[in-house]
Amino acid sequence: MSQDALKNGRTKSREYSIKDGTAFSVMTGFGEQYFSPLAIELGAGNAEIGLLASAPQFAAAICQLWTSKATSFFKSRKKTILIFVMLQALTWVPLALIPVYAPVHGVYWLIAFASLYLISGQFIGPVWNSLIGDLVSEDERGRFFGMRNRMTGATAFASLFVAGYVLSIFSKVDIFYGYAFIFSVAFAARLISWHYLNKTDDPPTISRQSDGFSFADYLKKLAHTNYGRFALYFAFMNFAVNIAGPFFTVYMLRDLRLSYVDYTLITAASALTSFLAMAYWGRVADRFGNKKTLSFSGLTLALVPIFWLFSAEVPYLIIAQLVSGFFWAGFTLSSSNFIYDNVKPANRTRVFAYHNVLTGTSVFLGALTGILLASTMTGPAMFGASLLTLFLISGLMRAAASLFFLPRIRERRSVEYITSRDFFIKYGGTGPIMGLTYGTVTGLRRTLKKIKKA
């Protein structure tokens, strides 16, 4: 294959990747994001909500230990991806039927099929990361993933908003038929995603021999390498995040008794600023490095759950989530690109799999800790709601993880130097945040006016 043909194939594959990601975001916006609200409608308590948020993640993470073997068995990264994406698409069929035909024991069926959904989807995560890493060169990763994440984030926001509006309509008739409808849309979207993945190239020139190290070898080296210290930091952050993460939905829908429209507005606000900020953080990370972006966003993420302590008013929570999306965009982008910068292409499939196992285990343990704390907090409720205590604990533990690990992580690439103080003032301070928040709020108001007129 000529160099021009190879380059042209990679260019088209990157375009297909954006279209695949857009369809994938429709699926998550109409489907995955509404697992917890459906569980609440089915009568789930704190323990069931925590298990729904963590058990499928844990099962999916453990299964990734066999991702490299599956890729070797199928002898193609692309074929492996296509098989398991189709399996994930098919899980939407029973998920759409559960709320209508099995509402009595629906929570447990939901947890079971949500586990199959995540296992089939996340199983190919390391393979996809390896493939896209070969399609996008090192010097353009920040811009490409910033642009891709911006497109997928915009789609996720719109899908989440439309799905919430659909549920608000069905809530006046039969809410379970509403869930069946939005999950059917998720099924169709994943089929479209499969179509574009099928058109993507699997570069034959990047087929190198992996070092073949085991998960035990991976764990032994974590404390002694730059990537390893980052992986430990990421794991501890996910542990801290998921002490509270599964319970935000419970707090909004059960404790505050918000409508589906208000719930969707609050939930979608973070997705909105996240996609708007992705391209911004991509340019910043390309210029000043992923470590600098990771340090800023990791520290500021400690504030996100603490924002929820001060007011339960919907406008306040929307603004809090708008700011949250700005921080999460920087953390998500820099975390992903940091792995690409620090892991050899030959080892990416294996390392991403092991990384996800470590992360999934942390998510599971964090949620179990949250369940335990939520079930034992029998004293006076903090700020009027016991779950807010979990939010405070989560914020403090995020801060502790960032303060301990971030000074021990180094930037691998040669990047432009900037002091932490100047970085905060120019790129992460109130100016960028307020500008983005103002623009987002203005856009939301215009969108809501158009919806009301329609």
Dihedral pair phi/psi, residue 204, rounded to 5°: -75, -15
> How many angstroms separate the CA atoms of 325 and 269, rounded?
7
- The pLDDT of residue 24 is 94
> How many angstroms separate the CA atoms of 170 and 165, rounded?
9
- The pLDDT of residue 205 is 47
More confident residue, 14 or 376: 14
> How many angstroms separate the CA atoms of 174 and 172, rounded?
6
- Report the candidate in 120, 111, 171 with the shortest Cα–Cα distance to residue 364: 111
More confident residue, 240 or 56: 240
- The pLDDT of residue 196 is 93
Return the minimum-mean-pLDDT range out of 327-341, 398-412, 426-440.
426-440
Q: What is the pLDDT of residues 180-235, one digit of tens each?
A: 999 999 999 999 999 999 998 887 644 455 556 788 888 998 988 999 999 999 99
- The pLDDT of residue 374 is 82
| Secondary structure of residue 216 in the 3-state scheme | helix
For the chain, give every domain's residue range.
14-200+214-453
More confident residue, 15 or 346: 15
The arithmetic mean of pLDDT across residues 419-440, rounded, is: 65
| Alpha-helical segments (H) within 207-313 | 215-221, 226-244, 248-250, 260-288, 290-300, 304-307
> How many angstroms separate the CA atoms of 72 and 152, rounded?
30
- The pLDDT of residue 206 is 47
- The pLDDT of residue 383 is 47
Helices 141-170 and 3-30: angle between axes, nearest 10 degrees: 30
How high does pLDDT run on average in the chain? Answer: 84
Task: Report yes or no: 277 and 325 within 8 Å, Cβ to Cβ.
Answer: yes
pLDDT surpasses 90 at 436: no
- The pLDDT of residue 430 is 56
The arithmetic mean of pLDDT across residues 427-440, rounded, is: 57
pLDDT surpasses 70 at 441: no
More confident residue, 255 or 189: 189
String of DSSP letters for 264-286: HHHHHHHHHHHHHHHHHHHHHHH
pLDDT surpasses 60 at 434: no
pLDDT surpasses 70 at 2: no
Q: What is the pTM of this model?
A: 0.77
The arithmetic mean of pLDDT across residues 32-51, rounded, is: 90
The arithmetic mean of pLDDT across residues 73-88, rounded, is: 90
Q: What is the pLDDT of residues 318-349, one digit of tens each?
A: 999 988 998 998 999 899 888 888 888 778 87
Which residue type does 347 have? N
Task: Report yes or no: 22 and 178 within 8 Å, Cβ to Cβ.
Answer: no
pLDDT surpasses 90 at 146: no
Distance set, CA 347 to CA 130, 339, 366 (Å): 8, 11, 28
Helices 125-135 and 67-74: angle between axes, nearest 10 degrees: 70
DSSP conformation class of 379:
S
CATH class label, 14-200+214-453:
mainly alpha
- Report the candidate in 154, 167, 153, 150 with the shortest Cα–Cα distance to residue 36: 167
Look up residue 379 and give its two tokens: 């004293």
String of DSSP letters for 388-419: HHHHHHHHHHHHHHHHHHGGG----S------
pLDDT surpasses 60 at 276: yes
As a whole-number percent, the residues of the chain with pLDDT over 90 amount to: 40
> Which pairs count as long-range contacts for 408-413, CB under 8 Å and 24+ apart, including other chains?
408/229, 409/226, 409/229, 409/230, 409/233, 409/291, 409/294, 410/226, 410/291, 411/289, 411/290, 411/291, 411/292, 412/226, 412/341, 412/342, 413/138, 413/289, 413/290, 413/341
- The pLDDT of residue 440 is 52
- How many Cβ atoms sit within 10 Å of the Cβ of residue 91? 23
pLDDT bucket at 380, cuts 50 / 70 / 90: very low
pLDDT bucket at 278, cuts 50 / 70 / 90: confident
Residue 147, sorted as left (phi over 0), alpha (psi -120 to 50) or beta, turns out to be: alpha
- Report the candidate in 430, 426, 409 with the shortest Cα–Cα distance to residue 418: 426
